[in-house]
Amino acid sequence: MPPSHQQMLTLLKQIAAGTPDNNSYLGDATARALRKRLADLSPDTSDRAKYELHRELGQAELRLGNEEEAIDHLRKAIGLVRLNRDDVPPKVLAESAFWLGVAYMRHGETRNCCLHNSPESCIFPLRGGGIHTEQEPSRGAIASFTEVLQITRASEPLHLEARWLLNIAYMTLRGYPEQVPKPYLLSPQLFESEDKIPRFQNIAPGLGLDTFDLSGGAIADDFDNDGYLDIVASTWNTAGQIHLFRNNQDGTFSERTKEAGLLGLYGGLNLVQADYDNDGDIDILVLRGAWIEEQGQHPNSLLRNNGGGTFTDVTFEAGLGQVHYPTQTASWGDYDNDGLLDLYIGNESSEGLRAPCQLFHNNGDGTFSDLAKEAGVQNHGYAKSVIWGDYDGDRWPDLYVSNLHGSNRLYRNQGDGKFTNMASKLEVDRPAASFPAWFWDLDNDGILDLYVSAYSAGIADLTASLLGMPLNIELACLYRGDGQGGFEEVARRHNLIHPTAPMGSNFGDLDNDGYLDFYLGTGYPAYRSIMPNVMYRNQSGKGFRDVSATGGFSHLQKGHGVVFADLDHDGDQDIFEQMGGALPGDAYGNVLYENPGVDNHWIAIQLVGVRSNRSAIGARIHVQVIENDVRRSIYKHVNSGGTFGANPLRQTVGLGKASRIVVLEVFWPTTGLTQTFRDVPFDQFIRIVEGEAQITPLKLKKLTLSKN
């Protein structure tokens, strides 16, 4: 085993061993201390002290997944409140009842959705296989939330949270809407989609892809060069194994983690892939340490593909492991147009840890040098998303950095190795509470636009929005490129007016109409955060409509790495999503939404750089088609999509009702070369090599996804 690989395995094993004491999310040190305090209580301890201890220990046990113990302590806590009701403010009783209700809800999820998972489990609004068979936990939740609602005002956040969860609890019992008390009912009409789309079915359980993990990353790409897309999924659990699923070319997948040399490579909240060494094999970057500040100084992993789908960790020998900062976001791009992919890693600075972002320049010999300081892109913020994109069309990739609770940055590439922050001047520095962000062309005008999410909504805000109550939170920003190096904020105009709290996210074309849709895996770490994931369908570049419910995408579990990928080679994109929360008791199985197909045309293009980087990251595809006797343009900029989850680098381009492709152009920014091909047949997989005059068709079989 190479020394760099062994060094990583040793370090990750040490981190896992220290997690119980050092990790504020995954560790059990708090629970152990509280258990000891409870055991050492003296007989004359006050009821108030007993209440606080049972409450704290109940919450700590719940975080660890010890749900029955949690419920026992929280019931004792609320019992003490009721015993002293005359001396306790109503708010304390309401909060105590709410905590107990949340514990019951999580217990119900574990006993039903987790232990008896079905394709319909947790798909909102709940129906069919999503109905709980073990119903006592939900009945306990209903009693607790009803008590909260009876002693709180309708406008209070706790009331709104309890109302939301009460309606879901009734759904789990098939009691919604008829049995929900009318004052607390959220009408079924409030949950209807804004547009229709065929329903996507979750087929991950039947394919063995539903690994049961905490939050993590996901990517799909061809890691063994057989033409078929494989899947890699991770978990941020410091003792959790990364998984590689090989596409067997017959509609099934087989786990090949051991064979790929990945055993012992633990953790990773996000993943992103690229062929960094231009050898024709796609490599993987694993990102670690996010959210836990000083305790998150974990190494990232650069996994070099050895060919044939095996990997070696080369982090230390490549120069990426000299210092470790907490991170979950990175982006590959050739910022100096030398044909070699460089790497920007967005790190999380906090009060206790100064963590500059890193710009790793590719030296061309398998090593990297951090030039962030010289380039002026150290950022020193709490970076949650970074993405390259040439927003001003000058061939030099620019860089957007989304900083949670800080000003976002748009670093304009000057072409001389240095960058200038233009975010404030161009008014693209909001929202302050931002998370995922990406460049894309939402309206097919050939100009990059910018989506920046808002990570500020809770379930009280969801309820308030449904009821038409005023919101006092930030919403996502959608910046439309104006073609002159500037932007216009158009989120409201494009119907992005509802609260969301996304981590996992990505974009693709659900219906092959040539316009990019996007999916948000929503939710924050707390168990109360039972929020539907959200799918937005693009309305011909003029706006977006929520199709979450009708499409079957509104999963209530926390969604993380999102991938749009044609896994069965039928020309439409399926959606893989890595699921699970941040807390030990909030694991869940991954999902794969199979695209039922639409009657639109498509073309899938594998670009191969020669003088440019081999992955073709940064190249631009322009397809001109005749549709309904009208000539229209469709653009695709080559990258792996959004910033939490990664699409294949092979680009699937929807063509709508096109009768023919008139022109297919590929622009290579490294050289300025534009390749032009005429009258290309559609509904096929092709390869285009930089500088070559001919297109190569790829003979790939259409698959029927099925059980092993």
Structure tokens at 40: 């050492």
Give the pLDDT score at 3: 94
Residue 308 Cα distances to 125, 231, 332, 658, angstroms: 43, 15, 22, 37
Separation between Cα atoms, residue 154 and residue 20, nearest integer Å: 41
Task: Give whole-number Cα distances, 701 to 35, 254, 568, 605, in Å.
Answer: 58, 18, 8, 16
The CA distances from residue 381 to 19, 284, 385, in Å, are 25, 25, 11
Res 214: pLDDT: 98
- Cis preceding-peptide flag for 431 (omega within 30 of 0): yes
Quote the pLDDT of residue 227.
97
Q: How many CB atoms lie within 10 A of CB 14?
A: 11
Position 364 scores a pLDDT of 98
Q: What is the DSSP letter of 424?
A: H
CA-nearest of 366, 370, 373, 363 to 330 is: 370
Please state the φ and ψ torsions of residue 451, each to the nearest 5 degrees: -105, 130
The CA distance from 53 to 491, in Å, is: 46
Asked whether the beta carbons of 609 and 615 are under 8 A apart, the reply is yes
CB contact at 8 A, 505 and 494? no
Position 308 scores a pLDDT of: 85
How far is it, in rounded angstroms, from Cα 499 to Cα 524?
13
pLDDT number for residue 707: 67
| Residue 264, pLDDT score | 98
DSSP H or E segment with residue 489: strand 487-489
Q: What is the pLDDT of residue 85?
A: 81
Question: pTM for the full model?
Answer: 0.98
Q: How far apart are CA 183 and CA 567, in angstroms?
A: 46
User: Would you list the DSSP string of 270-292?
Assistant: EEEEE-TT-SSS-EEEEE-BTTS
Residue spans of the chain under pLDDT 50: none
Q: What is the DSSP letter of 397?
A: -
Cα separation, 412 vs 428, in Å, equals 12
Rounded distance, CA 538 to CA 601, Å?
A: 17
Rounded-to-integer distance, Cα 483 and Cα 391, Å: 9
Cis check for the bond before 20: say yes or no (omega within 30 of 0): no
Give exposure, 631-649, as e/b (b: 16+ Cβ within 10 Å). Answer: ebbbbbbbbbbbbbbbbbb
Which single residue is written with the structure tokens 């100009």? 447
3-state helix, strand, coil split of the chain in percent (to 5) is 25, 30, 45
Query: Residues with Cβ < 8 Å from 699, sequence gap 6 or more?
Result: none
Distant-in-sequence, close-in-space partners of 214: CB < 8 Å, separation ≥ 6: 26, 235, 236, 237, 240, 580, 581, 582, 583, 584, 586, 587
Q: Determine contact, residues 113/557, Cβ cutoff 8 Å.
A: yes
Q: Please, which contacts does 412-416 make with residues 24 or more away whose CB atoms are closer than 8 Å?
A: 413/335
